[in-house]
Structure 1
Amino acid sequence: MNATTTRGTLLVALACVLVGGSFTANSVLGDYPYAGGQFLRYGLACLLLLPLLGGRGTAPLRLLGARQWTRLALVAAVGMVGFNLAVLAAERTAEPAVPGVLVGCAPVVVAVLVPLQEGRRPRRRVLYGASLVALGAFAVQGWGRTDAAGIAYSAGALAGEVGFAVLAVPVLRPLGPRLLSATVCGIAAVESAAAGLIADGRDWLRLPDATEATALGWQAVVVTVVGFVCWYMGVQRIGAERATLFSGLIPVAAAATAPLVGTGSYGSAQAVGSALVAAGVALGSGALGPLAARRAAPAAALRRSGGQDGRAGRWRRAASG
């Protein structure tokens, strides 16, 4: 890996670990209005991101066309608000592992979808790595009770995860990671408020207690501001195809942090799944390629040296004959 790839890898890995930790924070927000919580999270994140935009500020937004604004609205609606709504709806009739397992298949979908959009074949190494990541996510979370509705909403959560990874790519270059994150957070806050007013009326927002405020603050500052910017900076460097491999770290981080708040345990199944995720990420991202190349280099050099020595011996024998 070169420096750019290494930096991108570290950035997306950090982002996914932070998102995984947010599932632990979600466990203390069960009684808080969903839409109101999303509004506070994304609204606060947007406000915190605005001072970080630098000299250009929001000027690049004026150059966007209707198609690009539609794409941004879809990122917020599908990949942020819709994703979380789908997970919440799935868990009404399915155990949490079910949407988790389907979302864990996102690397496989992206490994196929992105190349098709670009008019090329999927990269075999990335596809194999994505399959290992999905298998590892399944091992970490297991499977649980569900019904048709739970499967359908879980599939919607998968679509949201894929949409978040893929839809934003065309607007990442003109906006940059910070402005893109601030924009989609602002749009998601508006969409959350609208959804709350429609679904819950006046009860869509209330003052959080100390525990809820801490969890919402963590999600806004750490998971959204830091996590989103790191994610899009990483995608800039290594592309959505390889970046999505690291989403397998989300269930691993969730399983590792769950014991801290007494909502789960980390056992042998989680350890095996974590190892599979690590192997899939290493294979698909190309981290194993340089290692294999380094191991193969001495053998290749030895073969070349042996071949040259053999030819030299034949020449000497011919000359002496």
Structure 2
Amino acid sequence: MNHSIPSIPGMSTDVIPRSGETRGLTTRSGETRGLAQAGGAMFLVGTLAGVAGAIQDYPLYGGQALRYLLAAAVLLAVTRLAGLRFVRLTPRETALLVALSLTGLVIFNICVIEATRHGGPALVGTVLGTVPLALALLDGRPSPRVIGAAAVVVAGATVATGLGSGDLTGLLWSLGALVCEVCFSLLALPLLPKLGAVRVSAYSAALAVPLLMAAGLLIDGTAMVRVPTLGEAAGLGYQSIIVTTVAFFLWYNALPRLGPGRAGLFAGLIPVGAIATGAVLGLGAPSAADLAGAALVVTGIVIGLSAPAPSRVTGS
């Protein structure tokens, strides 16, 4: 029986095989859209660095709880407007969703916060630059070309970010952030065929709110939330709408189309997004190392995408 698929602007419905199509095969147009979505998602995540200064004095855990609260509200409203009905999850799927929210959102933010305090953003950015290589190695049987391309992307991200300085504690927190970033993709893959990108994004963001509030109460007490200044409100709003709502949706739409190995190559655009944002906001012109790193990242992505694309089971 065919069911009509609700559609809203910017939402893809070609991830669902239609009558007469071979299930599990990604169409050429779907893959092209996946490439654009993966690149856009990781670039937007990179712009986060440009607004970090606006919220650096706001309580960190309370601020992140507010960020995900607003994002969840927007995403849940989108699910309602799109006519996406509630889907009953199995115990295993519920556990996966909770694990996704706990690791990919809550613990990831805690690791990044603590790593930045001990080692600075350069150390965190360098370690997170290895995400493409980690996802390529974990993607079943990645081709040598994809692995080589991931290594080029990692090199470019390292050059663009700079190794910086930090202690062992900062390095361990950064490695924790890397593991959580990988979990953000791999734990979502089994959920996407049943829930789709919007619901996975909405449910994981909603689950992160009470978890972050609990962490905030333990660390900051009642001072975890206060009325933000105009600049802080703008920064938190940007994180909620652009970096969370839009980027999550784009990434989770692209992931089943491309697979973690090929999609992970675009994580190298995170420092590129940071460089571009800094230039636009007048925070400093990119250095020769920044430009060289960006060129390496683009080269690595092109090499990786030239590898034959495996057939993928796409989400609904």
**Which interval holds the TM-score relative to the shorter structure?**
0.7 to 0.9
Aligned-residue Cα RMSD (Å) equals 1.6
Cα separation, 2, equivalents of 1:130 and 1:165:
16
Cα separation, 2, equivalents of 1:106 and 1:140:
15
Cα separation, 1, equivalents of 2:111 and 2:285:
25
Cα separation, 2, equivalents of 1:96 and 1:215:
18
Q: Flag the 1:82–1:265 CA change in 2: closer, same or farther, 3 A.
A: farther
- Deviations 1:19-42 (CA, angstroms, capped at 9, x unpaired): 111121122111101111111111
Cα separation, 2, equivalents of 1:203 and 1:90:
22
Residue equivalent to 1:55: 83
TM-score (norm 2): 0.85
Residue equivalent to 2:6: none
Secondary structure at 1:28's aligned position in 2?
Answer: helix
Confirm or deny that 1:198 pairs with 2:218: yes
Q: CA deviation at 1:56?
A: 2.8
Cα separation, 2, equivalents of 1:138 and 1:186:
33
Cα separation, 1, equivalents of 2:242 and 2:166:
32
Out of 212, 217, 220, the residue aligned to residue 240 of structure 2 is: 220
Confirm or deny that 1:32 pairs with 2:52: no
**2:139, 2:259 within 8 Å by CA — same for their partners in 1?**
no
Secondary structure at 1:169's aligned position in 2?
Answer: coil
**Paired AA for residue 228 in structure 1:** F
Residue equivalent to 1:112: 137
Q: CA deviation at 1:261?
A: 4.0
Residue equivalent to 1:181: 201
Structure 2 unmatched ranges of 5 or more:
1-26, 310-316
Q: CA deviation at 1:51?
A: 2.1
Q: CA deviation at 1:191?
A: 1.0
Secondary structure at 2:139's aligned position in 1?
Answer: helix
Cα separation, 2, equivalents of 1:75 and 1:285:
27
**Paired AA for residue 97 in structure 2:** L
**Paired AA for residue 175 in structure 2:** A
- Deviations 1:12-67 (CA, angstroms, capped at 9, x unpaired): 1111111111121122111101111111111111111112112233x11x2x1222
Cα separation, 2, equivalents of 1:29 and 1:264:
19
| Higher Rg of the two aligned structures | 1
Cα separation, 2, equivalents of 1:215 and 1:274:
25
**2:142, 2:261 within 8 Å by CA — same for their partners in 1?**
no
Cα separation, 2, equivalents of 1:177 and 1:56:
11
Residue equivalent to 1:319: none
**1:114, 1:166 within 8 Å by CA — same for their partners in 2?**
no
Q: CA deviation at 1:289?
A: 6.9
Q: Write out aligned runs for 1:60-209 (5 A).
A: 60=87, 62=88, 64-115=89-140, 121-209=141-229
Residue equivalent to 1:302: none
**Structure 1 vs Structure 2: percent identity of aligned residues?**
39
Secondary structure at 1:146's aligned position in 2?
Answer: coil
| Deviation larger for 255-264 or 83-92 | 255-264
Which protein has the bigger helix share? 1
**1:283, 1:289 within 8 Å by CA — same for their partners in 2?**
no
Secondary structure at 2:55's aligned position in 1?
Answer: coil
Aligned residues: 281
Out of 233, 258, 268, the residue aligned to residue 238 of structure 1 is: 258
Q: CA deviation at 1:263?
A: 4.2
Structure 1 unmatched ranges of 5 or more:
116-120, 291-321
Cα separation, 2, equivalents of 1:196 and 1:95:
21
Confirm or deny that 1:8 pairs with 2:28: no
Out of 14, 18, 22, the residue aligned to residue 44 of structure 2 is: 18
Confirm or deny that 1:285 pairs with 2:310: no
Cα separation, 2, equivalents of 1:2 and 1:272:
32
Cα separation, 2, equivalents of 1:259 and 1:159:
30
Q: CA deviation at 1:264?
A: 4.4
